[in-house]
Amino acid sequence: MDIDLFIPDLRKICLDAGNAIMDVYQRDDFDIQAKGDDSPVTAADLAAHQIIEQGLSQLNPTIPQLSEEADDISFSTRQHWDLFWCIDPLDGTKEFIRRNDEFTVNIALIQSGQPILGIIHLPTTKETWWGGPRIGAWKQEANGSVRAIQSRSLGDTLIVTASRRHGQEQNDRLLVKLASRFNNVESLASGSSLKMCLIAEGKADLYPRLFPTSEWDTAAAQAIVEAAGGKLVHAENLQPLKYNQQESLINPFFYVVGDPDFPLNALASTKDSSTD
């Protein structure tokens, strides 16, 4: 399968979904509802989901889809999927509601549990990142220009990107430990999948995620980060995350690093197994 051929259509699908999100973003009322787990869903989530679902079905109707807004598919069905789309129509719904502009559209193609293609779109600027092991990692800038991207090697200054809202206590402990290994440690807060895009671009070195996420939160970013030369790994066994391996779609805690030689074993004692 030549996944290069998917890229132009995927970029168009993401752009259309992003435009639908921005239409809602400009309203006074987002039509916010609570899902079964009490997480919020807005009219923007649902509009983007519909556009992506239809677009991917037209692109290839034989590839099943797993979306945050259509996740009621049993593992007895999913376990037979060797190839499927893993989708977050609006990653960062809480950032969207707070109007801080840090929310994305995420689409990944998973084969045999591994992300082989990922695309992330930032609706507020129309920047788009995509990548996979067979195609490298790329970014379309806000002005429309496209360039290859690459993660960076470790230097004297370590830039750690983190959530604006989750896992602050765990991250603070981790930063204290890292301060003894680097001349300078800086923290950079960001929302949604943008944290991992910063690592793929070489603008940050480490993203520790010691707070729960779902598979659609990481799949696209993992494909891009790995294609850019970095890693996204399980916080305990330091192996790349795999997808659709069990009934639960909740990820283990994980680390994202730009330099594959990052001394991840040094972080072992900072892990926190609680889920708050």
Residues 113 and 233 in one domain: no
The larger pLDDT score, comparing residue 183 to residue 38, is at 183
Residues 128 and 49 in one domain: yes
Count Cβ atoms within 10 A of the Cβ of residue 268 and give its class: 0-12 exposed, 13-18 middle, 19 or more buried: exposed
Q: Is 4 annotated as a binding residue?
A: no
> Do the domain assignments include residue 276?
no
Q: Is 88 annotated as a binding residue?
A: yes
- 151-178 pLDDT per residue, tens: 999 998 999 998 766 556 777 778 777 8
Q: Is 53 annotated as a binding residue?
A: no
Range of the domain at 13: 3-148
- 49-66 pLDDT per residue, tens: 999 999 999 999 999 999
* Residue ranges with strand state E in 101-178: 104-111, 114-122, 127-132, 136-140, 146-148, 157-162
In whole angstroms, give the CA distance from residue 73 to residue 233. 26
Residues 141 and 259 in one domain: no
Q: Is 45 annotated as a binding residue?
A: no
Number of domains within the chain: 2
Q: What's the pLDDT at 234? A: 96
**Residue 53 sits in a domain of what CATH number?**
3.30.540.10
Residues 7 and 138 in one domain: yes
Task: Work out the angle between the directed axes of helices 7-25 and 43-59 (0-180°, nearest 10).
Answer: 160
Alpha-carbon separation of residue 96 from 40, 83, 109, 191 (angstroms): 10, 30, 25, 10
212, 202, 210: which is closest to 174 by C-alpha? 210
- 92-113 pLDDT per residue, tens: 999 999 999 999 999 999 999 9
Residues 193 and 114 in one domain: no
Alpha-carbon separation of residue 275 from 47, 108, 149 (angstroms): 31, 26, 33
> Do the domain assignments include residue 125?
yes
Q: Is 68 annotated as a binding residue?
A: yes
Contact 138, 149 (CB under 8 A): yes
Residues 22 and 125 in one domain: yes
Q: Is 157 annotated as a binding residue?
A: no
Is the pLDDT assigned to residue 11 strictly greater than 90?
yes
Q: Is 71 annotated as a binding residue?
A: no
